[in-house]
Every structure is written in C-alpha cells, then in structure tokens.
Amino acid sequence: MNSIDKLLNETLNTDLEKIIISNPRKAGDIVKIKGRPVTIKGKVFFQLEKLTKTQVFHENLEKGQAIATLESHLADFRQMQVYTLSGNYTALISKKGKITINQSPSHSSEKLDENMAHNREKNYILKEGIRVPFLVDTGIMTSEGKVLKSKYHKYRQINRFLEYIDDVLPLLDKNKEVKIIDFGCGKSHLTFAVYYYLAIVKGYDISIVGLDLKESVINNCNELARKYGYDKLSFYVGDIASYKEKVSPFDDSQDLSQSSPERLEQATPANQDQGCFDVVISLHACDTATDYALAKAIKWQAKVILAVPCCQHEINAQLKNDALQPLMKYGLIKERFASLVTDSIRSEYLESMGYQSQILEFIDMEHTPKNIMIRAVKKGAPNYQKRESLRQYENFLHIKPMLGKLLDMEEDDD
C-alpha cells in the first residue's frame, strides 16, 4: 500500500471535512476535484465534485470506489489537501511521481471550518443562528438555531433550492395569492422551506399543496404544518397522473388529509380556479411521472416550473438508430445518453409551449445522485413550428416521449 492509498484509507470516513485535488500539470478538462462524505439512506458515501472551466459534475461513491477514482486522477495534478477533524494533510506529487505528505495540527482545520461557517452564515438564505421550526424537528438544526455538522450538506441543499426560488420571485405577484404544488413531496423538507421562506420571511400570500403516495409521510407532514400554524400548507395522498386540477385543497368544509387519488378526483372545489397553480415543483419524480407533472404545469400555464427528473427508463427502452450503434452497444453509456435525451427533449417541449427553459446543475439531494434541474418560466405563446422540428428529432432516434404524447392528447381533447 503506497502512502497516498494509506492516507485515503485512513481519512475517508465521517471525520473527513473535505478533500481538494488541485494544481493540474497541464491544461485539461478537469481543473479541480473536491470530495466530502454524504449520508444516503443511512449509509456513508463520498461525493466527488469534478470541476471543469465551465461545469461541475458530481458522483456519490462507496469508499473503495472513491479512493480508486481519486488515485486515478492524481497523476494529472501536483497537490492534494485532506481536511479532517483530527488534522490536515497536504500531499505533493512531483513530476516523477515522488510523494511528500505533510501534516498540520487540527486547529488549522477548526479555523477553516469557522471561516466556512462564517461564509455560510453570510450567504445562505436560511441563516444559521436563526431558529427555523421545521429544521429543528427534522434534526438539521438545534433548538438554538445551530446547524448540526453532520447535516450541513442537507442545510446547503435546502438553501440552494431556495436560491432558485429567489431567482423567480419577480415573476410572482405579491399582491395576490400565489399557488404552488409540489408533486412527489416526500418528507417535504423543501416544501416546508419554500413555505417558510415565502410566507414567513418574504411575506407573500401563498398556498402550497404537497402530494405523495406514502400515507404515513403525508400524515406526519400535515401534523407538522398544523403544529407550526402553516394554515395554507396542506399535504395529500395521491399520484401525479391522477391529480385533478379542479380540486381546491383549501376548502375548509372538506377533510382531505387522508385523501386517496379517487377522493381527490371527486372533491368539490370551493373556487374553480383553485387548481391553477402559479409554480409547479417536481423533484425526483420517477420516470414518466415527471412528464405528467410537466404536462399539468403546461395546461395550467404555470408561471414557473422547477423539475429535477429521476430514473429515466422510457427513452432508454425505445432508442434505436443504426448510426449510433457504437454508443448503443454499451448499456451504461446508452443509459446516460437516454437520460440526457429525455431531459433535453422535455426542455424543448417546454420551449415549444411558450416557456423559456434552462437545464441547470442542481446540487444533488441526500437520497439520489440525480442533479439536473429543468427550470422553465412562462414567456409567450406556443411555437408549433418548433414542435414539428421535435418530430424530426424523435423520428431520428425512433422515440415517442411521454410528454409529447400527453400534450398531443390535451390538444385532441380541446
């Protein structure tokens, strides 16, 4: 075992704060690599962040995979820094491969962490030191408002999402109720964060619906919303495909806290416009569930759409093109290609329906490595000429995306 391998084996654990590989030997795609521990479904992984001049790529790896990946890149760099709770290490790699490792006391790591905490406090939307009820109850923050060190990654993720919300605030009318729906809300960390930020911090009149299939999760979210007095934040059991826009989740005469998808469809609205949402959020909705969310958002002419897709299987099963056979023969490559095709064509469909659409890299969530966000804002009327060019793209790849089919069905119904 060489000295680098030994160092990584000893330091890649929960005491690790971060690893930085920097100072490349020659110009190349990757200019820096960063690493840190993350917890996914109770298991420790190591998130590697590869920075190019224009982009950042993330992957979550088990310890052995992370060590192998880091070592494979070290030959192209001159320096690696490792920051841990017990001490800091600097590894210098000479042109001939000679390795020199220097260790410094842990107090320098503590000083670095203080500086990082200061920067976070200065820049983050939900600032440390200010008690936020849902962050306390979910174990991210202490009752005094201090963020737990082991939960800083989650704290950063929540704040990053709120930055996307903050970007679109000029599109939302503060003088009237803003309606938001979160499809597939799960434990609803972000749903609560959006409500807290817009209603409590910014003073918007907002109503938010969270929808998920897990009844126990929905019950817990409703209990927390009542506990905090968030009277226009409600959660329902149901799926994206069966959700009906005619439902008014804020009609006090109906008790929908235990609603099934069927009850949601049968509910009587208090106001026929209640289901037309201004903002549609869909994070990690699996496979074509994202397409159903986007189709409903388009139908409602939502002002803002924020979607982080997950598990794109549909296009992968359809892809067929002899000219791309060298790509298609490798399962992993084909899967990644299909994922990119899926999200790019979703974005193009949004453009064809009068949205300005962007594909952004979103910091990945705790439970998934997926990190592409589609952000779309309503700008104008549909462009049906663009739809025709999309048909050519689909014919070339022999695909029929769900979003296109849903939009066609909607137009036929009209």
Q: Identify the CATH number of the domain in which residue 194 sits.
A: 3.40.50.150
Higher pLDDT, 56 or 34: 34
Q: Of 129, 118, 46, 55, which Cα lies nearest the Cα of 84?
A: 46
Question: Listing from the earlier edge strand, what are the strands of the sheet with 355-361?
Answer: 233-237, 206-212, 178-183, 279-286, 304-310, 372-378, 355-361
What is d(CA 12, CA 70) in angstroms, rounded to the nearest whole number? 11
Alpha helix ranges (H) inside 104-234: 106-123, 133-137, 152-167, 189-195, 215-228
The tokens describing 398, both together, are 């022999």
Tens digits of residue pLDDT in 277-297: 999 999 888 888 899 999 999
Domain count across the chain: 3
Q: Is 151 within 8 Å of 145 (Cβ atoms)?
A: no
What is d(CA 365, CA 82) in angstroms, rounded to the nearest whole number? 24
pLDDT of residue 290: 92
The tokens describing 67, both together, are 């060590």
407 in the same domain as 370: yes
Rounded to the nearest 5°, which phi and psi values hold at 207? -130, 135
Question: In 324-339, which positions are buried (b, 16+ CB within 10 angstroms) versus exposed (e)?
Answer: eeeebeeeeeeeebbb
Question: In 77-111, which positions are buried (b, 16+ CB within 10 angstroms) versus exposed (e)?
Answer: beebbbbbeebbbebebeeeeeeeeeeeeeeebee
pLDDT of residue 44: 83
- Relative to beta strand 178-183, strand 206-212 is parallel
408 in the same domain as 330: yes
**Count of CB atoms situated within 10 Å of the CB of 399:** 21
235 in the same domain as 319: yes
Tens digits of residue pLDDT in 178-221: 999 999 888 888 999 999 999 999 999 999 999 998 899 999 99
Query: Residue 97 sits in which domain range?
Result: 3-110
Measure the CA angle with vertex 309, ends 208 and 242; round to 5°.
55
100 in the same domain as 122: no
pLDDT of residue 376: 95
247 in the same domain as 193: yes
83 in the same domain as 48: yes
What is d(CA 398, CA 285) in angstroms, rounded to the nearest whole number? 24
The tokens describing 308, both together, are 């982080």
pLDDT of residue 412: 66
The tokens describing 225, both together, are 């919303």
Q: How much of the chain, in percent, has pLDDT values that exceed 70?
A: 85
14 in the same domain as 149: no
196 in the same domain as 127: no
Higher pLDDT, 265 or 397: 397
192 in the same domain as 165: yes
139 in the same domain as 74: no
- Of 130, 153, 176, the residue that ends a domain is 153
What is d(CA 244, CA 262) in angstroms, rounded to the nearest whole number? 10
The DSSP call for residue 295 is H
